Structure 1
Amino acid sequence: MKAIALDGYGSADDLHLAELAQPKVAPGEVLIRVRAAGVNPVDWKLAAGGLDPIMEARFPMIPGWDVAGVVEETGLDATEFEVGDEVYGYIRKDWAQNGAYAEQVAASVRMLAKKPAALDWEQAAGVPLAGLTALHALRRIGVGAGDTVLIHAAAGGVGSFGVQIAVAVGARVIGTASERNHEFLRELGAEPVTYGEGLAERVRALAPEGVDAVLDFVGGGVAEVSVPLLKQAPQGERSARLASIADGEVLGVGGHLVWVRPDSEGLAELAGLADAGKLRVHVDHALPLESAGEAWRLSQEGRTRGKIVLTL
């Protein structure tokens, strides 16, 4: 099969199209014919060795943890799916080697769900990691109806899902983004504010009494600016309604650092939201598999609205 591979730790320039063996299908797994693979910042960070302290990489390595495709084969006791089923999933294993940037990939049924009927292949491939990250972060701090939530980097891949999920459960969302993304956030149901100096004052203008919860999807000193904005946490006090995916300093103020796990039930929930018209997926770039290096460079620029995907 054709796949994008790395022969060792490296960068976008080291990605190459290779001919590799079809994956073996273990018990509890299915073989997927990949139609689209999502691109996430963790893909190139892992390739650069950034996850080496916590995750083993085996080479040659095929990157990619987001997949949408068709079941071609079922392994022993993989009764949840049948050949021909359209599925999507977050297929992170305990080590990095056989990822989604390939014509075929084997994945455990616990990492998959039926593809949302309302989404095309590219849109579906953009959901799993980012959508589950947003869902798990919202759950961790108990966001619900009536809450006012501040979401940092609200127009990005994870942030745009966080906005929509929060709105779907009845929360009011204030989202930080550059001005060029403000109309996009309004379309998703958020009240946009520009990030940078003076952010706290701009948030207070919209929510004079403060916000109930904060989600950080960008990192870079979020705890310092966010804690004083929390209703239940006047400056200097600890808070539990603060979650970040990128800033470990939140742990020091009683917040939560979120590292998303594969979750078939969560994927099914996201699919339900999409099919109900409550979750849309903006694909900023859809590139062919052989353009994986270009996709990584676009991701590294940090200007993507929504998602980048590879198509097969």
Structure 2
Amino acid sequence: MLIELIEKTKGQMLSSTWLERRDNSEYRQTLFRDLSRILLSLTRISLPAIGSFVVEKDGYLRLKNRPLSVEIQALENDHIPTDMLRDYTYSTVESYIVDLLRMHNNRVRHQRNAINHLIDYINQTAALATMQTTFPSFFTRDLCRGPFAFTFTDLHPSNIFVDDNWHITSLVDLEWACSRPIEMIRTSTWLTTKTMDEITEEAVEYDAARSEFLESMANEEKAMGVLLRKEGQITRSLSEIMNRSWQSGAFWFSLALSSPMGLFSVFYKQTQLRFIKHCPDQEAFHEIVPWYWSQDYVNVAAAKRQDRRDYDARLKAAFGVVDETN
């Protein structure tokens, strides 16, 4: 374990001045340039698999652990099985996404308060069943086996330290950083003051901030001469891939995968809209699609309704509330 004390003279958390200065273009551009340089420095090194690094007893750093991100740990802390073996890495994007979706399925199955009522169960399983069938349309086939890149999965304003001019001086809480598909590198949701639910509802303001950030990154790519990979005559840059992910919807799909609680909001407000615009008659969607989520769909529904009743009863008992329904 490496521990470093960040002295006050070295900077303060970005969150301390974010709301006050975020509308100042000079501060914002300084931050975007520095953050772009950091991301470009990380992604210029192509990694062989999706996973996490471990420091072994011989002192060597090896990429041999599962890609442990903060949402995976949060689920396991709630005793929800993720079915992701600790010594397992992924060689393809598809295999990684399948296991992430299985993790979300497990949350529905094992979290006692995962559903509020039967309609909620239908909505959740319809979204998960659809995501399991549509993800190939979002991610580029020729990037399914790489490049993979070291990625920060918990990079928010309180984990970024800046000086008085908003130059980045330190990054903290890097335990959730791991190697991930290059198309899953996204601009952060905190670029505006909106929550995830708010940017999925109306993405115009966020898109403006996202575009400004990627313009800054493109300028840094030219200055640094950074290219991710060459395939024949095809040259790719990180800013181009991130822009394409926004256009294709891979941005929203990977954002949904990163949030067990936010997945359904992202799906219905962004992902599903990319399909129903060509098929406006969706009256039968919730009558048909949920049945394809799992072969034991009916049995799970009955179990989840009982789980919810048990959860509510235990919650009332914990707070000394008399259950008047009995």
Does the pair score TM above 0.5? no
Using the size of structure 1 for normalisation, the TM-score is 0.23
More helix by share: 2
Q: Larger radius of gyration, structure 1 or 2?
A: 2
More strand by share: 1
